[in-house]
A and B are shown apart, each in its own frame.
Chain A
Amino acid sequence: MSDTPEPDVTTIAESLLESLEYRDDASEIVEIPSGILGVLHYVRAGISRLTTISGKIAWILVWVVFVLGLFNVITRYAGRFIQQDIIIGEIFDLQWMLFGALFLLAFNYGLREAVNPRIDFWWANFSDKRKAFIDLVIHVTMFLPFLWLGIRLLWPYAMSGLGRKFDGSWSTWKVWTIWEQSGDAGGLPRGPIKFLMLVGFVLFALQLVAEIIKTIMVLAGRTDLATIAKPKAPVRIE
């Protein structure tokens, strides 16, 4: 092994994984269609920009959640050592809430990056247009209505979390500042995370609109959006 240079396995793996990865930032597309498709293109590019931000927040939150988790462990054991309870309950709550924020805000990123699996038994052999057609029909007739239902259901839920009463009036500022307490003593209010569920669904619905636009463009003959024709590569999960 000493006479032949050892290949840098990590680099190979990375470039390989990158090549499998689905990249589609609408802003990278040079050719902008004219007419109504052009308008759709800009809508999609705008949404995509939002989604990119979501993804970046998610990577950062991974590390924030880790630091909080580590902080928790340290305070717990340091506290045991000096025989004093120095655990900060808020930090524990903040940890799961930020993990929640991580995926709630990035559902849209997962949709764009196609991290969710498909069974590609037949799918892999379909033409681009057929793939786009299947996606378009089900997105519009069934999945978008689901998101609409989700938003409808989450709206009152999120609002009550933020202090709206049953009769529709809002709590006074004094009550508002207390919000709804979490189960643990000294916990954080849960209102914001409930509100994030709503935000997550709205962002997701927006990205789904972008996906629908993409399928329309593929059906209209755009071949540079090879995103749906992603090569038969394993989605890198588990």
Chain B
Amino acid sequence: MDLGVALSLIMFVVFIAMILIGYNVAFSFASTALLFSFLGDLLDVFDPAVLATLPSRWFGAVSDPTLLAIPFFVLMGAILERSGLAERLLSAIGMLLGPIKGGVAAAVILVGTLLAAATGVVAATVIVMGLLSLPTMVRLGYDHKLATGTITASGTLAQLIPPSLVLILLAQQMRVGIIGLFAGALIPGLMLSGMYAAYAIAISYARPGVGPAMPKSERTLSGRVLALEILFSVVPIIALILAVLVSIFLGIATPSESGAVGVAGALILAGLSYQFDKILVKRGATHITPRWRLTAKTLREAGKSTANISILVMTLLFASSFFSLMFLQLGGSDQVADWLASVGGGKMGFVIVSMIAVFLLGINLEFLEITFIVVPIFVPAMDLLGFTNIERIWFTVLMAVNLNMAFISPPVGFSLFYLQSVAPPEVKTSDIHKGAIPFMVLQGVALVLLVAFPGIIDFSFDFFTPSST
């Protein structure tokens, strides 16, 4: 093996060691890259003049229109969460579906899906649902494992159902069109959500006591008030989601433009909810007191969390672009691409090997690290194997589904941490961990289905992409 390639592989090992001892992930990228550019220069396998291209690479990231969509979709979700609209949505749908067995779990999944389509971030969804639905489900006598698994899994859908931060980053790293990727991921996301709901309801009916129906005494809303509550808290959010997605998929607006409209819509809904509440109270509702939701605090907090996520993502992007430049220059990328292309089985062999690798990494790493570590390695292999555009989108959606598992895989899934931080004391951490397992199995089944039948993603892509014919 030539010296540069060996050096690049050692660089990779050093990087993994650094993040394992707990040094900041983004800074580990930059630090190892610097160390090995120095070593490469000493050993005469790297020309430091190449480093002069770094500023223009960074500038490329700054001026990338795809990434401009990030703040809008994060902000839109943050407004819905901070203003309390997400919470209203959840309680209304809970009341609606409560009477059937497993109904509250199904409501959580439905709301998780809706919020996923309204926001690109997982934390907000899991925390809101964990605070509101978990105590309810515990009180109703739900099995703790089913309750927690439902919340973590459906909250995680936010990263698969467009618009999503993960999809935007994957599109940028995989070099596929963001609209096409959104289109390709929509049906797989809905499919997963349908599988969760079917599972939750089926197990509630099959095993008594796992997911009891809401007793009459709990159902405080009924009749006209419930209908009004649905009309005012559920319908507007669905309309907002449809407006954003339709405008993207019909090619009316670019993702960042739709995001801007989505933020405006979320602000309007938060403002209008005060009027809606007053109407509800006038019609005899007692469960709410009208309050103005669009406070300065809401706006400040929403802006702050949006800024934090933007900073986080861009720091990682700047640092990892130096790392992948070094990995490419030292010859590591070509070598790994060769290996991946020669595992046999052509494209399918590559897909299977890479999916297994991502799954194994996902047990211990999180989506951000995986996206920035392995995707730059996969891309040259895909070039070598001659992946077409639609096959790239297929592969990218598979990655996104696979990363869903990383979010809820014990012991270190982000969604599990979020839920742990808000769970009532009687819910044990081990329940949260065990509860995720059935949903990971469902995700695994979905992944196998999507690998075996690429037609699902192709159809989703064709159906939702603006008429390219």
Contact = CB atoms under 8 A, between A and B. Distances in A.
Interface in B108-140: 121-123, 127-128, 131-132
Nearest to B67: A99
A61 to B, nearest CB: 8
Given A16-B422, A122-B21, A102 B303 contact: no
A83 interface: no
Interface string B78-95: 000111100100000000
Interface stretch (A141-149, A163-171, A214-222): A141-149
B63 A100 contact: yes
Contact of A123 (B21, B68, B322): B21
A66 B75 contact: yes
Contact of A110 (B22, B220, B264, B311): B311
A103 B24 contact: no
Contact of B65 (A13, A14, A96, A149): A96
B440 interface: no
B127 A115 contact: no
Contact of A233 (B32, B121, B421): B421
Interface in A114-152: 115-123, 126, 131, 134-135, 138-139, 142-143, 145-146, 149-150
A107 B315 CA distance: 7
A238 interface: yes
Contact of B166 (A59, A60, A139, A238): A238
B316 A116 contact: yes
A39 interface: no
Contacts of B20: 119, 121-122
Given A20-B421, A96-B63, A238-B165, A153 B52 contact: yes
A194 interface: yes
A138 B31 contact: yes
B260 interface: yes
Nearest to A14: B301
B248 interface: no
Interface in A1-51: 1-2, 6, 9-10, 12-14, 16-17, 20
B19 interface: yes
Interface in B20-79: 20-27, 30-35, 51-52, 54-56, 58-59, 62-63, 65, 67-68, 71-72, 75
Interface in A87-106: 95-96, 99-100, 102-104, 106
Contacts of B259: 69
B31 A142 contact: yes
Nearest to A92: B65
B309 interface: yes
A67 B327 CA distance: 40
Contacts of B299: 63
Contacts of B54: 150, 153
Task: Give the bracket for the number of chain A residues in contact with chain B.
Answer: 35 or more
Contacts of A138: 18, 23, 27, 31
A76 B322 CA distance: 37
Interface in B134-185: 159, 165-166
Interface stretch (B3-11, B339-347, B350-358, B363-371): B363-371
A203 to B, nearest CB: 12
B383 interface: no
B304 A59 contact: yes
B315 A116 contact: yes
B111 to A, nearest CB: 13
A72 interface: yes
B231 interface: no
A154 interface: yes
B123 A66 contact: no
A186 interface: no
Nearest to B18: A138
A-B pairs with lowest CB-CB distance, top 8: A123-B22, A69-B260, A142-B31, A110-B311, A234-B417, A157-B55, A58-B307, A100-B62
24 contacts: A13-B81, A59-B303, A59-B307, A62-B310, A69-B260, A70-B263, A72-B260, A76-B257, A95-B256, A103-B310, A107-B314, A115-B308, A115-B311, A117-B312, A118-B19, A119-B19, A121-B22, A122-B22, A138-B18, A146-B322, A149-B34, A237-B308, A238-B165, A238-B414
Interface of A: 1-2, 6, 9-10, 12-14, 16-17, 20, 55, 58-63, 65-66, 69-70, 72-73, 76, 95-96, 99-100, 102-104, 106-107, 109-110, 113, 115-123, 126, 131, 134-135, 138-139, 142-143, 145-146, 149-150, 153-154, 157, 190, 193-194, 197, 233-238
Given A13-B81, A17-B127, A107-B318, 20 more contacts: A2-B287, A13-B128, A70-B260, A100-B63, A103-B307, A109-B307, A109-B311, A115-B312, A117-B369, A118-B22, A121-B22, A139-B27, A142-B32, A142-B34, A146-B30, A146-B322, A193-B62, A233-B421, A235-B312, A236-B308
Interface of B: 18-27, 30-35, 51-52, 54-56, 58-59, 62-63, 65, 67-68, 71-72, 75, 81-84, 87, 121-123, 127-128, 131-132, 159, 165-166, 218, 220, 253, 256-257, 259-261, 263-264, 286-287, 299-301, 303-312, 314-316, 318, 322, 364-369, 412, 414, 417-418, 421-422
